[in-house]
Structures are given as structure tokens and as C-alpha cells.
Chains A and B, each alone.
Chain A
Amino acid sequence: MNSHVAARPPAVPAGPIERPIDWDALIEADRVHGSLYTDPAIYALELERIWRRTWVYVGHESEVPKPFDYVMKSVGPEPVLMIRGRDGKVGLLHNRCPHRGNHVCVSERGTARSFTCPYHGWTFNADGSMRGMPFPSGYEGVDREGLGLGRVARVEAYRGFVFASMAAEGPSLDEHLGAAKGIIDEVCRNSPTGEVELTCGFLKHKVKANWKFVVENETDGYHPGFVHSSIFQVSGSRITELYGDKSLSLARYLGNGHTEIDLRPEFRKRAEPLSWFGTTPARLPDYVARMNEAYGEDKAREIMIDGVPHVMIYPNLFIAEIQLFSIQPLAVDQTVQHVTALQFKGAPDINRRLRQQTMGSVGPAGFLLADDAVMYEGTQIGVGLSNPEWLYIGRGRHRERQDEQGYLVGCATDETTTRGIWRHYRSLMEAA
């Protein structure tokens, strides 16, 4: 013991918070308590009540195009194998041998009709069922049915986007997505074939920050003009117009934790097709021709003015115009963003630019994301300090209103999205 420090009770509980947690003492309408980002007991409860219970985005069907193709994915911190079965359906298996717990797959992607545990040679079919174990006489009379790989309880796709829930019961994917389905539709209609594909691999960007800081930042329209001013200044970008005080863009809470920054009012004001992508139809003639062919000129023009949404589908799928992110918590203060370029099936010329712009802006060296990362890391350090204990999220509360569809909206820079996220978080965490 350090003898010259007077013994006194610590300012915050040293051990895990005892259940039940008093959420009133942690989440208020316009502020949240810093311990929500640092307390390992809260994080453990989030794994149980959010990541292992609700619907979580896992991957895209285009990542496993053929039967028996697989790719390593995760549900929260837990690794899973996303596999297309013999029947063409995409399923998820836990990468854990039911015998002694070792992994049955160590390669990130491939094609396999079976998986073999390297420890004792137990072998499993692509649907997870037991195929065989060496020296089978030792298992006489044992029911092999129960000795397959664990299957994730519920797996469903919407327009190729695969979601999973580790809980057998609960709201359907349809109910969970709610308004986000319409937003996914909007993403897909930017493809001349109506299909998005993820075909160019992922960047994996790690930060020393709680996952919720990342989620909140994705639809925080207040920060871009400041955090990203360096690149906007030197690239001649018009992005700051979208996130300024005079912007017509809206921060919208879509329910169920889903949020978006709706930039369409600004793009519609410009009325320039492909302005959302910082380019012009003349530079992407092939894409424009395919869009016109697919939708007719008027509709295609409308789509190309509106562009791809900027939406955060709770808790881990973020689509930001040209990129798709999957947010993975690893620990209370460790998060990975897996990010790739959206690719529109049947549109090679725009896809090439989508890849190039994605590589420029995101990942560990990205013009944008490296700077976001130091912001989350700074906030993570900040919430570990004792005064003040709370974070203020009240920006724009006085001017929040309902839009025509009944969703709560604020100005692009308002914290309408953050407040919505926290209300939903609380409802998930309070559900016993």
C-alpha cells in the first residue's frame, strides 16, 4: 500500500457494477455517463443483450458466391464461418470444435466441403453436422447429432446483406430493420442491376476506443468540417457544404437504433447527377448509360442526384455513400472497423473509382478515417477521467421535429442521431 495517500472510498466503484443497473443514473435525455464506455461489466452485459441477442450484420452473400465457399466473419467479438451450403443458402457456424474447443478453420476464406479439427481429427460437413471422428469405437452408442459445430440460431439476408441473431427467439429481421430496409433499397438502386456486391476484400482498422464511440461518430454530422478540414482544404472537396451550419441536410433517427445523415436536400439543390460522388456523368459514361437503360432517363437522373445514403444500421453496419463498414467490438476499449468499397454489380467503371476513393479515404492510412480514429481514441481517454463524469449530447434538442414520415429529424449537425441511439440502447439493455 502507498502509505502517504489517505484511505478514502474511490470516486467510482472499483468492481463491476452490481445488477440491476440504475439506467436513470447513467442515461439522461441530453447526457450520458462516461462509465458506459469504460465499465467492463457494462460491456459484458452489452455482449449478452445486444451482440448475442439482436440482429447483427455479418457479411454479404456476394462474398461467398458458390456452394461451399466460406469466409471468416464475426458476430460481435466472436468469430463465425459464413458458408454457402450445397443448397445455395448462406449459413453461419461457430468456429469451435465441440470436442475440446479448438478452431476448425484458420484460413480467412476458401472453399471447403468439410472442416477438420487439427487437434483430434473430428470432421464436420459444411452444414456443421458431424462427418466422423477417428477411432470411432471409442464413441459407441454416442449420439453424433449433438456433436456438430454450433450453428448461429438465426441467419437471414435482405437484398444480399446477411444478418444474424444468436438468440433463437426475438423480433424478426424484418421488424429489426424497419425503416432501414428502405435505406438498403436506396443503396441497391444505385446499381444498374439493383445489386450490390462486396468483392475487393476488407481493410481492418483497429482503434483503442469503445464501439459506441465509433457508432455515434458515423452519423455525427457536427465533426466533419473540423476533423476533416485538412483533407477538404487540400482536395478542393465540397463536402463541408453538406455539414455546415447552413446545410439543408438532416440528421434523422429511423427507430431501432438506426440513424442517417440525409444529404439529399443538398444534392437535390445542386441538381447535378453524380455530385454525391464528386464527379460528373461525362466521366462515367458507361455507368450512366447502364443506369438509363435500367431505370429510364428520368428515374436514373433522380437516383444519380440522390446518390447512396449515409446510414448506420444498428449496431454495426455503416454504409457511407461509397463504403461499407462492419463494426466489431473486441473489448470495452478496443474496436475494429472492417471496411470495403461498395461495388455495383454490372458497373465496372464506377466500381474502379469506388475502390480508389475508398482506399484513399478509409482504413489505417485513410485521409478521413485515420483522423476519426484519433478522435475516438481521445474520447476514450477522456471518459476515463473523473471530471466532468458526463458527456453532453443535447445539441439541437430544441429544434428537433418530426418529418413527414414521423421520424425525428434535426439539422445535419445536431445530435438527434446520438440521442436516438442512446434511447434504443437503453431499451435493449433494460430488457431482462
Chain B
Amino acid sequence: MPVGTQDFALLQDVGQFIYREARLQDEHRYADWEALWADDGIYWVPANGDGGNPEMEMSILYDNRSRIGLRVRQLMTGRRYSQTPKSRLRRLISNIEILETAGDTVTAGCNAFIYESNIKGETLWAARNDYVLRREADGFRMVLKKVVLVNNAEPLYNLAFLV
């Protein structure tokens, strides 16, 4: 189906949101990043594949909104040693697609490639991100962010930054 002008505008809005989220994460702007979440947000990083049932299987990260807040507060203590000093990060986002729209929610997907440098050395992370975004009065909020790391079935080094 050809992409109409309206879809193109949506794609641009969603793209800008995702780029901004990426930059806030790269720059460790924890409070600004937390503000992107909806009250019922779920932050999910599956382990061992594309993601089974996170209520029944181990995930690398499966935070509800309150745990997202806890994660951010831990980072802000300055004594989250796995981020002291903070990893230097830059991520590239590409292949953004709108996958579905329904009412005020948009499902979008993209690829992410993250370069991390810290005391341990350099780590490269590649991921498929899926977003469910809800349009609120002042812009999108994340209802779901699912990050499927390409190598999530393998043993992984620390992943203590916001992925």
C-alpha cells in the first residue's frame, strides 16, 4: 500500500520521538528519559530469543513503570557502580517503520546499533526495537519498549546503561 502524506507525517513524528529517546539514553539524561514513559509503560529486554512469555520466563529486563522509576533512581544515586563512570555511548537508529496504528496508539519498529565504551573496553550491541507509543496531549509516551538483542541467547557482559 502506498504511503500517504498523513502516514509520512506520522512516520516523521515517530522517528523524531525515537531519535530523541536514543539521544537521551546516550547522554544519560535519566529524568528526561523517564518522562517519556506512559504510566502503564513496560520496558522489556528478552533473553534467549525473540521473547516468549515474560511472565513465565527469565528476561534480561522486564520493568513495569514503578521498576523503571527504581532503575532511574538507582542510576541517579551516583553509586550504581556498573555505570560509574558512565559508559560512553552512541547509538544509530535505522529502518524505522510504522507497523500498526489503532486509535491513539502506534506500533513502530526499528533497528539499533549501540557502541559502548567503558573501563572494560568496547562493546557493540545490535538490537531490534519495538515500540508501542500512545499519543498524549504533549506528545508520545512509551507504553512498551521491547529491545531484542541479536545475541541475547549468548552470555552477555553488563548491560547497565539504558538500552
User: Footprint of B on A, CB under 8 Å?
Assistant: 108, 200-208, 227, 229-231, 233-235, 336, 339-341, 352, 355-356, 358-360, 363-365, 367, 370-371, 373-375, 377-378
Q: Tell whether B137 is near chain A: CB-to-CB under 8 Å.
A: no
Asked whether any CB of chain A lies closer than 8 Å to the CB of B6, the reply is no
Q: Are B55 and A375 in contact (CB under 8 A)?
A: no
Complex Cα gap A108–B154 (Å) = 11
Cβ of A234 and Cβ of B73 under 8 Å apart?
Answer: yes
> Shortest Cβ distance from B114 into chain A, in angstroms?
13
In the complex the two chains form, is A341's CB within 8 Å of B58's CB? yes
Known contacts A233-B77, A365-B160; A370/B58 CB under 8 A: no
Query: Complex: how many Å from CA A352 to CA B55?
Result: 7
Taken together as a complex, chains A and B put the C-alpha atoms of A227 and B79 apart, in Å, by: 8
21 A-B contacts (beta carbon < 8 Å): A108-B153, A200-B58, A201-B58, A203-B58, A203-B60, A205-B156, A208-B157, A230-B74, A230-B81, A231-B74, A234-B77, A339-B58, A352-B55, A355-B56, A359-B60, A360-B63, A364-B156, A365-B158, A370-B160, A373-B157, A374-B82
Residue numbers in B under 8 Å from A370 (CB-CB): 80, 82, 158-160
Q: Contact: A208 with B120, CB < 8 Å?
A: yes
Q: How far is the CB of B58 from chain A (nearest CB, A)?
A: 5
Given A234-B73, A363-B60, A374-B81, 14 more contacts at CB 8 Å?
A108-B48, A200-B57, A206-B155, A206-B157, A229-B79, A230-B74, A231-B70, A336-B155, A352-B55, A364-B159, A365-B45, A365-B160, A367-B71, A371-B160
Q: Are A371 and B81 in contact (CB under 8 A)?
A: yes
Residues of B within 8 A of A200 (CB): 56-58
Whether B160 pairs with A359 at a CB distance below 8 angstroms is no
Q: How far is the CA of A367 from the CA of B80 in the complex (A)?
A: 8
4 closest A-B pairs (Cβ-Cβ)?
Answer: A370-B82, A206-B155, A204-B155, A230-B79
Residues on B with C-beta less than 8 A from A231 are 70, 74, 80
User: With contacts A206-B155, A371-B80, A371-B82 known, is A201 near B73, CB below 8 A?
Assistant: no
| Residue B62 at the chain A interface, CB threshold 8 Å | yes
Cβ contacts under 8 Å, B157 to chain A: 206-208, 364, 373
